C-alpha cells in the first residue's frame, strides 16, 4: 500500500467549500486504485486564524507541514478581514519561499463541456512554467522622501540559478509533451533583467537541440493567448509574467474556477504545494456555488507528482464527462451546486472500480 501524507489547508472563503469536495474525490480515487491511501492532516490557518492568533500560522507551522509529502492548499486571503500583504505573505507566499517551491506550473487547456469565451479556442493545450521565487516579486526595495517628492523603488532580482532552473524545467516538460518552449520576455522595454532572462533562455536551449523554441514579448504573448492559444505548448515565464499569463489562460478555459496549479520543490528538501489559481472569492462564499473543479484538478496534479499519471488522466477524463453531462456550477453556465459537481465525479469514479 502506497501511503501519502498530505497537509490540508482550506484557507479562506470558498477554499473552505471546495476543499472537502476535493478530498472526497481523492479518497474515491484511492479506493479505485486499491493500492493507494491518503492520510489528510487539517490545518485551519487562514484569516480567521489570524484574527484569533494575530498570525497566519503558528511559529512552528512550517515544521508541522514539513513532515508531510505534500501540502494541499485552497485559497488564502480576504481583504475585508486581513490586509492581503499580511495574509498572502504570511501563508501562501511564505510556504512557496520557505519550502523552496521555486517552480509554479499551471496548465490551461480547452475542456470538453465548457464553452470558452473565445470563438475559436482551437483545442489549445498549454502549460505555463513560472519562476516562483524571485524576479519581480523580490522583497527588495523601499521608499525615499515624503510628500510630492516621494519615490518608490522596487528591485526585480533575477539570478542565473533561479532563471536557469525554471527554464530547464520547461524544457524537460516539453520533451514529454509536444517539444516546444516559448520564452516570455520584454527585453525591448525592460533593459536589464529581460535581456539577462533571454541570455539564460538561449544558453539552456542549446542543451535541448530537439526542442523547438520561440521568444515573445509579454504584451504580444498575452494577446496571442486570445488570438491563437493552440500554438503554444510550454511557456516559461518570470514570476510576474507567469502570474499574468496563467490568469489569461484560466480566462480562455472558461473560468478561473477550474484552473489548477502546483508549486514544486525541485531539490527534494521540502514538500511541494498544490493550490488552484483561483482566490477565496468572498463575494460568493457561503452560497454553495463555488466551482470545485480547480481544486479537484489541482488534486490531479498532485497525483501526477506522485507518479500516478494513469489515475490522474482518468480523473481529468471523468471531470470532462461530468461537465459534458451539464453538471456545472454557475461560473461556467450551469445551475449545479459545488457538491453536486463533486458528487457526480465521485459517482462516476466509483463505476470504474
Ligand X SMILES: CC(C)[C@H](C(=O)O)[C@@H](O)C(=O)O
Q: Which of 304, 262, 236, 306 is nearest to 104 (CA)?
A: 262
Rounded distance between C-alpha atoms, residue 311 and residue 33, angstroms: 8
Q: Which of 252, 47, 236 is nearest to 131 (CA)?
A: 236
The grid cell for 337 is 451546486
Q: Which of 188, 199, 313, 317 binds ligand X (CB under 6 A)?
A: 188
Rounded distance between C-alpha atoms, residue 173 and residue 175, angstroms: 5
3-state secondary structure of 13: coil
Q: Which of 168, 233, 243, 304 binds a copy of itself (CB under 8 A)?
A: 243
User: Residue 219, interface with ligand X (CB under 6 A)?
Assistant: yes
Compute the least distance from the CB of residue 198 to ligand X, in Å. 14
Contacted entry of a copy of itself, ligand X, none for residue 350, CB cut-off 5 to 8 Å set by kind: none
Residues near 34 by beta carbon (within 8 Å), at least 6 away in sequence:
none
Rounded distance between C-alpha atoms, residue 36 and residue 203, angstroms: 41
User: Residue 230, interface with ligand X (CB under 6 A)?
Assistant: no
User: Residue 243, interface with ligand X (CB under 6 A)?
Assistant: yes
Per-residue contact flags (x/-) with a copy of itself for residues 195 to 214, judged by CB under 8 A: xxx-----------------
Compute the least distance from the CB of residue 67 to a copy of itself, in Å. 29
User: Residue 193, interface with a copy of itself (CB under 8 A)?
Assistant: yes
Instruction: Choose the binding region for a copy of itself from 8-16, 57-65, 85-93, 332-340 (rule: CB under 8 A).
Output: 85-93
User: Residue 290, interface with a copy of itself (CB under 8 A)?
Assistant: no
Residues numbered 41 to 100 that lie near ligand X (CB under 6 A) are 88, 93
User: Residue 333, interface with ligand X (CB under 6 A)?
Assistant: no
Contacted entry of ligand X, a copy of itself, none for residue 58, CB cut-off 5 to 8 Å set by kind: none
Q: Which of 78, 47, 104, 70 is nearest to 260 (CA)?
A: 104
In this complex, which beta carbon is closest to ligand X, that of residue 32 or of residue 93? 93
Q: How many CB atoms lie within 10 A of CB 164?
A: 15
Q: Which residues pair with 41 in a beta bridge?
A: 7
Q: Which of 16, 186, 300, 328 binds a copy of itself (CB under 8 A)?
A: 186
Compute the least distance from the CB of residue 74 to ligand X, in Å. 12
In this complex, which beta carbon is closest to a copy of itself, that of residue 38 or of residue 89? 89
As to burial, measured by CB atoms within 10 angstroms (0-12 exposed, 13-18 middle, 19+ buried), residue 86 is middle
User: Residue 147, interface with a copy of itself (CB under 8 A)?
Assistant: yes
User: Residue 266, interface with a copy of itself (CB under 8 A)?
Assistant: no
| Angular region, 184: left φ>0, alpha ψ -120 to 50, beta rest | beta
Strands (DSSP E) along 220-341, which ranges?
234-237, 262-264, 272-274
Q: Which of 63, 57, 65, 60 is nearest to 89 (CA)?
A: 57
Residues that bind a copy of itself (CB under 8 A): 77, 84-85, 88-89, 93, 115-120, 136-137, 139-143, 147-161, 186-197, 218-220, 222-224, 226-227, 239-240, 243-244, 246-248, 250-252, 256
Amino acid at each position: 500500500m502506497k501511503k501519502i501524507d498530505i497537509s490540508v489547508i482550506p484557507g479562506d472563503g470558498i477554499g473552505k467549500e471546495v476543499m472537502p469536495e476535493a478530498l472526497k474525490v481523492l479518497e474515491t480515487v484511492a479506493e479505485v486504485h486499491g493500492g493507494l491511501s491518503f492520510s489528510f492532516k487539517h490545518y485551519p490557518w487562514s484569516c480567521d486564524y489570524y484574527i484569533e492568533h494575530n498570525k497566519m500560522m503558528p511559529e512552528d507551522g512550517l515544521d508541522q507541514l514539513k513532515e508531510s509529502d505534500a501540502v494541499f492548499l485552497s485559497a488564502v486571503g480576504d481583504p475585508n478581514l486581513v490586509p492581503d500583504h499580511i495574509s498572502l505573505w504570511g501563508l501562501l507566499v511564505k510556504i512557496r519561499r520557505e519550502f523552496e517551491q521555486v517552480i509554479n506550473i499551471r496548465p490551461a487547456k480547452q475542456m470538453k463541456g465548457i464553452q470558452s469565451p473565445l470563438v475559436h479556442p482551437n483545442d489549445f493545450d498549454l502549460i505555463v512554467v513560472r519562476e516562483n521565487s524571485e524576479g519581480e516579486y523580490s522583497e527588495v526595495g523601499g521608499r525615499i522622501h515624503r510628500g510630492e517628492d516621494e519615490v518608490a523603488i522596487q528591485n526585480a532580482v533575477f539570478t542565473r540559478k533561479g532563471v536557469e532552473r525554471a527554464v530547464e524545467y520547461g524544457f524537460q516538460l516539453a520533451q514529454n509533451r509536444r517539444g516546444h518552449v516559448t520564452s516570455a520576455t520584454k527585453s525591448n522595454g525592460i533593459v536589464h533583467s529581460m535581456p539577462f532572462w533571454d541570455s539564460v533562455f538561449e544558453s539552456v536551449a542549446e542543451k535541448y537541440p530537439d526542442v523547438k523554441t520561440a521568444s515573445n514579448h509579454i504584451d504580444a504573448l498575452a494577446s496571442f493567448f486570445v488570438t491563437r492559444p493552440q500554438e503554444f505548448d510550454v511557456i516559461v515565464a518570470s514570476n510576474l509574467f507567469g502570474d499574468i499569463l496563467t490568469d489569461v489562460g484560466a480566462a480562455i478555459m472558461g473560468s478561473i474556477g477550474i484552473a489548477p496549479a502546483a508549486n514544486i520543490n525541485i531539490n527534494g528538501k521540502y514538500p511541494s504545494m498544490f493550490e488552484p489559481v483561483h482566490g477565496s472569492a468572498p463575494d460568493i462564499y457561503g452560497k454553495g456555488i463555488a466551482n470545485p473543479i480547480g481544486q479537484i484538478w489541482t488534486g490531479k496534479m498532485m497525483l501526477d507528482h506522485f507518479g500516478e499519471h494513469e489515475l490522474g488522466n482518468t480523473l481529468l477524463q471523468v471531470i470532462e464527462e461530468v461537465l459534458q453531462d451539464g453538471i456545472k456550477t454557475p461560473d461556467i453556465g450551469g445551475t449545479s451546486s459545488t457538491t453536486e459537481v463533486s458528487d457526480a465525479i465521485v459517482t462516476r469514479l466509483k463505476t470504474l472500480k
